[in-house]
């Protein structure tokens, strides 16, 4: 059996884990406390009939506790979701807390108004652009600076060692046979190739002179024009000789002309590469004194 007065005497005078004593007064850290002050009327542990309002991710809920559910800790609080509209939320509070003490009804409405105002201010602040203060971790900065210094010293040491070894190698201290790492060997070869390419670019090269056979293209074009014109002239002469009255014969002759001209152009196109491949021939005549015969030879 639950006795509220006994519970309050134990909590108030002996020990309470939710109590926070300050010079201005005693406050309560219990999330179900409706006012946040540690006193008899607003203590959620010492009152078997209690009501409060809580916020879950921007949604307000009305929590109610009755003595009939005191023997069921898992069902001790009854929760009712409140709408976003302030007036409708007040109506729901009046409906569910109709026969409850006026102190709890008044404090529940007061807590609802404060929480709605806080939600409005949070939305306004979220819309504004504000400067974000970032902390500078000193330990990480010091650690990174030490690592950078060590990396710089190691790089300088490697470069100095490499430079000294190259000077000894160029001076002939190690003789003709050397054991060099492949990475450094390839690096040296690439540098030598770059130097060689730059030297070759500096040297001015004389342009090469070439001799090309001329007038072959012009002669071939003249031959093609003569051949095509000859075929067309013959066809025109044949058409002039034909009688004008016979229209059927004219159509036949035109078709023949087209076929002949197309075949002539094809032959010319086929003969062009053959002519280009053939070499120029020279005709030589030789006369003998004893005989009146002439000998001709081609080269």
- Find the angle CA(3)-CA(30)-CA(118) to the nearest 5 degrees: 135
Determine the Cα–Cα distance for residues 121 and 141; give it in Å rounded to an integer.
Answer: 38
Does residue 39 carry a pLDDT above 70? yes
Determine the Cα–Cα distance for residues 21 and 38; give it in Å rounded to an integer.
Answer: 9
Q: What percent of the chain has pLDDT over 70?
A: 61
Domain boundary among 128, 160, 194: 128
Determine the Cα–Cα distance for residues 117 and 109; give it in Å rounded to an integer.
Answer: 13
Q: What pLDDT is attached to residue 173?
A: 72
Largest Cα–Cα separation, the chain: 165
Kindly state whether residue 182 falls inside one of the protein's structural domains: no
Determine the Cα–Cα distance for residues 37 and 18; give it in Å rounded to an integer.
Answer: 11
Q: What pLDDT is attached to residue 132?
A: 82
Domain that holds residue 71: 48-128
Does residue 69 carry a pLDDT above 70? yes
* Tokens linked to 83: 């709408």
43 and 78 share one domain: no
200-206 CB contacts, 8 Å cutoff, 24+ apart: none
pLDDT in tens, 153-168: 888 888 888 888 778 7
Q: What pLDDT is attached to residue 297?
A: 47
Q: What pLDDT is attached to residue 181?
A: 65
pLDDT band (50, 70, 90) for residue 194: confident
Lowest mean pLDDT of 16-30, 59-73, 139-153, 217-231, name the range: 217-231
CA-based nearest residue to 36, from 115, 125, 121, 92: 115
Q: What pLDDT is attached to residue 264?
A: 60
* Tokens linked to 131: 């400067």
Kindly state whether residue 14 falls inside one of the protein's structural domains: yes
CA-based nearest residue to 118, from 51, 26, 53: 53
Q: What is the chain's mean pLDDT, rounded? A: 75
Q: What pLDDT is attached to residue 292?
A: 47
Q: Is residue 44 within 8 Å of residue 65, measured between CB atoms?
A: yes
Q: Is residue 91 within 8 Å of residue 147, measured between CB atoms?
A: no
Q: Is residue 96 within 8 Å of residue 64, measured between CB atoms?
A: yes
Q: What pLDDT is attached to residue 137?
A: 87
56 and 5 share one domain: no
Domain boundary among 128, 158, 178: 128
Number of domains present in the structure of the chain: 2
Does residue 215 carry a pLDDT above 80? no
Domain boundary among 67, 97, 128: 128
Mean pLDDT, residues 175-186 taken together? 66
122 and 54 share one domain: yes
Q: Which has more confidence, 52 or 158?
A: 52
pLDDT in tens, 18-33: 999 888 888 999 999 9
78 and 12 share one domain: no
Q: What pLDDT is attached to residue 236?
A: 47
pLDDT band (50, 70, 90) for residue 263: low
Kindly state whether residue 120 falls inside one of the protein's structural domains: yes
Determine the Cα–Cα distance for residues 250 and 241; give it in Å rounded to an integer.
Answer: 11
43 and 85 share one domain: no
100 and 118 share one domain: yes
58 and 99 share one domain: yes
90 and 37 share one domain: no
Which domain CATH number covers 12? 3.30.390.110
Q: Which has more confidence, 188 or 161?
A: 161
Kindly state whether residue 112 falls inside one of the protein's structural domains: yes
52 and 107 share one domain: yes
Kindly state whether residue 1 falls inside one of the protein's structural domains: yes
26 and 39 share one domain: yes
36 and 63 share one domain: no
- pTM higher than 0.85: no
7 and 26 share one domain: yes
Kindly state whether residue 124 falls inside one of the protein's structural domains: yes
Kindly state whether residue 230 falls inside one of the protein's structural domains: no
Kindly state whether residue 147 falls inside one of the protein's structural domains: no
Mean pLDDT, residues 143-147 taken together? 92
Q: Is residue 47 within 8 Å of residue 34, measured between CB atoms?
A: no
């Amino acid at each position: 059996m639950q006795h509220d007065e006994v519970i309050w005497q134990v909590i108030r005078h002996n020990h309470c884990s939710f109590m926070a004593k300050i010079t201005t007064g005693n406050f309560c850290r219990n999330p179900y406390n409706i006012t946040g002050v540690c006193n008899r009327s607003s203590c959620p542990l010492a009152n078997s009939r209690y009501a409060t309002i809580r916020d879950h991710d921007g949604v307000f809920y009305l929590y109610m506790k009755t003595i009939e559910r005191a023997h069921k800790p898992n069902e001790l609080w009854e929760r009712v979701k409140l709408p976003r509209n302030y007036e409708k939320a007040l109506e729901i509070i009046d409906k569910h807390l109709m026969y409850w003490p006026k102190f709890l009804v008044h404090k529940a409405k007061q807590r609802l108004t404060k929480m709605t105002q806080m939600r409005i201010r949070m939305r306004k602040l979220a819309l504004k652009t504000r400067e974000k203060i970032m902390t500078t971790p000193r330990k990480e900065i010091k650690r990174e600076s030490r690592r950078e210094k060590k990396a710089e010293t190691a790089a300088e040491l490697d470069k100095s060692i490499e430079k000294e070894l190259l000077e000894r190698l160029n001076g002939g201290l190690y003789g003709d046979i050397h054991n060099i790492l492949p990475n450094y060997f390839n690096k040296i070869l690439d540098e030598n190739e770059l130097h060689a390419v730059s030297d070759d670019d500096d040297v001015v090269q004389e342009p090469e002179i070439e001799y090309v056979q001329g007038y072959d293209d012009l002669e071939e074009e003249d031959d093609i024009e003569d051949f095509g014109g000859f075929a067309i002239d013959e066809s025109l002469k044949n058409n002039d000789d034909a009688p004008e009255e016979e229209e059927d014969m004219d159509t036949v002759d035109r078709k023949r002309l087209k076929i002949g001209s197309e075949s002539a152009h094809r032959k010319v196109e086929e003969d062009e590469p053959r002519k280009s491949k053939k070499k120029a021939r020279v005709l030589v005549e030789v006369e003998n004194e004893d005989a009146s015969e002439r000998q001709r030879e081609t080269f």
